[in-house]
Amino acid sequence: MNKAPRAVRPHIVLLGRCNVGKSTLINALCGQEVALVSPILGTTTDPVYKSMELLPFGPVVLVDTAGQDDASLLGVERQRLTARALRKAELALLVVTELPLLLSEEELLADLALRKIPSLVVINTHGQSLPAIHADVLAVNALNGEGIPALKNALAEKLSQVVIEPPLLHDILRGEGVVLLVVPIDKAAPKGRLILPQVQVLRDILDGGHRAVVCRETELGSTLRSLSEPPQLVVTDSQVFGLVAKTLPPAMPLTSFSIIMARHKGNLPQLTGATEALARLKPQDKVLIAEACTHHSQEDDIGRVKIPALLKERVGGELCITWQSGQTFPEELDYKLIIHCGACMITRQEMLGRLALTAELGIPIINYGVLLAYYNGILERSLRPFNTNS
């Protein structure tokens, strides 16, 4: 991987009325034409995503959205897409053309505050001279670039204050002991590459000054025998949890990439607390399996084949399973249980939003790795490295 994927980049969402210059501002920030600019109302329809480097902060994603006052036939649908984009937002930019703010703009800022989304107000002067402003408002001329360097600095400073990067492993590793990563190479694995959670965990180990050894599950025994000392931690892909647990000595610390991602992207206590719902499942109960990415399903696919088969075996009958793939998440939920992937392909903000929604509706949600550890009888063991039983 030679660049940061969108899922690990903080998202900055631009909001505002039609024709205030959101698309022009995106182009000015990026230094290239990435968003269509036109005087026609409603030019921006679906959100436009643009990855860029915001120095000195780092990689981010800018999101252009439809005008908040879009009164076209598709305006309601466009606002729904904007609301979906906001679920990913670490920061929102409200683009206006003058002060004082209109009532609708004040209401939008209040809504952002209610959602706990930090925001900045940007006056786009549309070619006029920059006005005198107060401290919490920035002014730019997106047409000629005046004020853009100052805005970039303000964005970088604001993101450094509000973006919290939860740990992967570095906070629990000690000394120079080896971390052993067990990485199955199945049919769904991208040729020549490791999947994102494996890459992230490996990089986190190396960044912390620790050592990593990587092997397939088929070479686990010989790899263990080759080590001069036991690994301080073994991390495995969840789909071979049972095999790896049986191969390792019982006292050897063990967890999975999926459980690490549950802690990194979401709320581990909430995801592990849903194990009680597994014990209550009955045949014909409605279950949602949510996959944050889209991929071609293989005959051994973990979310489409392995987990449904395991559920059928444990519950003693067929369940009514619905699958949801990609960046979208159902807005109407009526399920006994939601089973979520590791969420490596969506932002932490998006995952936290999904968790908040399910908590509000009282629907238990569990992570792939937590489910597989529970059914293999090793959940407590897999959580032990993080010093939590919940």
| Domains, the chain, ordered by start | 6-162 (3.40.50.300), 178-260 (3.40.50.11420), 268-375 (3.40.50.11410)
Q: How many CB atoms lie within 10 A of CB 69?
A: 16
Average pLDDT over residues 201-216: 93
- Average pLDDT for 39-46: 54
Q: How confident is the model at residue 103 (pLDDT cuts 50, 70, 90)?
A: very high
- Residue 91 above 90 pLDDT? yes
Which residues are CB-neighbours of 357 under 8 A, at least 6 positions away? 329, 333
Instruction: Supply φ then ψ for residue 363, to 5 degrees.
Output: -100, 120
Average pLDDT of 140-159? Answer: 92
Question: Does 298 have pLDDT greater than 70?
Answer: no
For residues 79 and 104, the model is more confident at 104
Tokens encoding 302: 């973990």
The answer to whether residue 390 scores a pLDDT higher than 50 is no
Sign of CA dihedral 381, 315, 265, 344: positive
Axis-axis angle for helices 22-30, 148-162 (nearest 10): 90
User: What's the mean pLDDT in 37-52?
Assistant: 67
Residue 297 has pLDDT above 70, yes or no: no
Asked whether the beta carbons of 255 and 182 are under 8 A apart, the reply is no
Distance from C-alpha of 284 to C-alpha of 360, rounded to nearest angstrom: 24
pLDDT, the chain, mean: 87
Find residue 123's DSSP bridge partners. 96, 139
Average pLDDT over residues 30-36: 68
Residues in the chain: 390
DSSP 131: P
Residue 140, token pair as written in the block = 């730019």
- Picking from 257, 270, 201, the residue whose alpha carbon sits closest to that of residue 373 is 257
Residue 241: the pLDDT is 93
Tell me the pTM. 0.82
Asked whether residue 136 carries a pLDDT value surpassing 60, the answer given is: yes
Q: Say yes or no to pLDDT of 2 above 60.
A: no
**Dist CA 151 CA 346 (whole Å):** 26
Within 10 Å of residue 355's Cβ, how many Cβ atoms?
19
Tens digits of residue pLDDT in 350-376: 899 899 999 999 999 999 999 999 999
The two tokens of residue 111 are: 């809504």
Cβ atoms within 10 Å, residue 56? 10
